[in-house]
Homo-oligomer: A and B are copies of this chain.
Amino acid sequence: MIAAPSFAAIQAARERIAGSIRRTPVLSSDFLDQEVGAKLFFKCENLQVSGAFKARGAFSAVLNLPAALAARGVVTHSSGNHGAALALAARSRGIAAYVVAPRTTPASKQQNMRRYGAQLQLCEPTLAARQAAADEIIAATGATLIHPFDNADVMAGQGTVALELLEQVPDLDAILCPIGGGGLISGAAVAAHGVNAGIRILGAEPAGADDAWRSRSAGVITPVAQPASLADGLLATIAASTFEVIRTQVQAVGTVSEAQLVAAMRRVWEELKIIIEASSAVPVAALLNGSLPVAGLRVGVVLTGGNVDLQRLPWKQD
């Protein structure tokens, strides 16, 4: 079974990826601070290479492959930010990146992965078809599967964002991340607790894909039958590896409605002047709807990505 990375593994990942990723800026807004009643530090991973924090995990994994294995390429079945990030990381090593994506993947996302060099293979939008397509590629090429979150090197890479943030803002009381498969929040929890055992780790999910919230309540992984949300990066179900960290090292998980996440997305665009995607707005929405215990705290908020179709905004034009 895959286990979450150690603090040392996250430190090693940070050294490995240092030359490949950006030290992203931290922004703030007095207006948002006043509204939430906390001091917020937004870690702008939407400004990361590939437009999302996923570059951290992808480079961490790709750069850790032995040369002989790497030469056969890497494969994944994320059609979103992990797919693009993996393609970018693979290109930096001059190796192939095969991405299995459902044929329903929006054209803009397909194009984005292709321009980073991904070799796309479209399949029927079912778990079985996806798995079969990935297996076929692995059998034919010997490529290594780099899972978007259930992979210790990927989690370690994602965790580096917390190390960096705690250097930029050392005296944080809490770090808040969205939860999809849980790779980010588990890496960040291990990393942050390695620096400061007392720091609180908070999560946020859309109400329509609240498997982490349900799993914490039930004490066992509890998938949502039909996860649905505009936050398309947060639809995955947590894995055993990430749940173990979410269960033991995360203090609270807030949930938000679709209307709340759209309003939060727009507020961030307006106040911070940056493009964040719907998934990144979920933690902000959880701060604004009061579902997280942050009053008076200094909170680092990871804004995870900025890959948005600018012709399909989730609010009306006048």
Question: What is the interface of chain A, defined by CB distance below 8 A to chain B?
Answer: 25, 27, 31, 46-47, 51, 115, 266, 269-270, 272-276, 306-307, 309-313, 315-318
Residues from chain B with a CB closer than 8 A to the CB of A269 are 275, 310
Jot down 11 A-B pairs with beta carbons below 8 A, ordered by A: A25-B25, A46-B273, A266-B310, A273-B276, A274-B274, A275-B275, A310-B315, A311-B315, A311-B316, A311-B318, A312-B317
In the complex, what's the smallest C-beta–C-beta distance from A315 to chain B, in angstroms? 7
In the bound complex, how far is the Cα of B310 from the Cα of A309, in angstroms? 14
Closest to A306 in B: B273
Q: Which residues of B contact A273 (CB under 8 A)?
A: 46-47, 51, 274-276, 306-307
Counting from the closest, the 9 A-B pairs by CB-CB distance are A273-B306, A25-B25, A273-B275, A311-B318, A46-B273, A274-B274, A312-B318, A47-B273, A317-B317
Task: Classify the secondary structure of A's interface with B.
Answer: loop
Other-chain residue from B51, B115, B309, B317 in contact with A311 (beta carbon distance below 8 A): B317
Q: A310-B315, A311-B317, A312-B318 are in contact. List 16 more A-B contacts (CB 8 A).
A: A25-B47, A27-B47, A46-B273, A266-B310, A269-B275, A269-B310, A270-B310, A273-B306, A273-B307, A274-B274, A309-B318, A310-B313, A311-B316, A312-B317, A313-B317, A317-B317
Query: What is the count of identical protomers in the complex?
Result: 2
Question: A31 to chain B: which residues have CB within 8 Å?
Answer: 115
Provide the residues of chain B in CB contact with A310, threshold 8 Å: 266, 269-270, 313, 315
Nearest CB to that of A23 among chain B residues?
A: B25
* A277 → chain B closest CB, angstroms: 9
Give the distance to chain B from A147, nearest Cβ to Cβ, in Å: 26
Cβ–Cβ < 8 Å partners of A311 in chain B = 315-318
The complex places the Cα of A25 from the Cα of B22 at a distance, in Å, of: 12
Q: Measured between alpha carbons, how far is A46 from B275 in the docked complex, in Å?
A: 12
CB distance from A233 to the nearest CB of B (A): 14
Which of chain B's residues has its CB closest to A271's CB?
Answer: B51
CA distance A69 to B306 in the complex (A): 46
Q: Do the beta carbons of B272 and A47 come within 8 Å of each other?
A: yes
A270–B47 alpha-carbon span in the complex (Å): 11
CA A272 to CA B306, docked complex, whole Å: 9
Q: What's the minimum C-beta distance from A46 to chain B, rounded to whole angstroms?
A: 5
A27 (CB) vs chain B CBs: closest residue: B47
Q: Closest residue to A51 on the B side, CB-wise?
A: B273
Distance of A81 from chain B, by nearest CB (Å): 12
Which residues on the B side are within 8 Å of A274 (C-beta)?
47, 273-275
| Bound Cα distance from A148 to B307, whole angstroms | 36
Q: Which residues of B contact A313 (CB under 8 A)?
A: 310, 313, 317
Q: Chain B residue with minimal CB distance to A267? A: B310
Instruction: Determine the chain B residues whose CB is within 8 A of the CB of A307 once the complex forms.
Output: 273
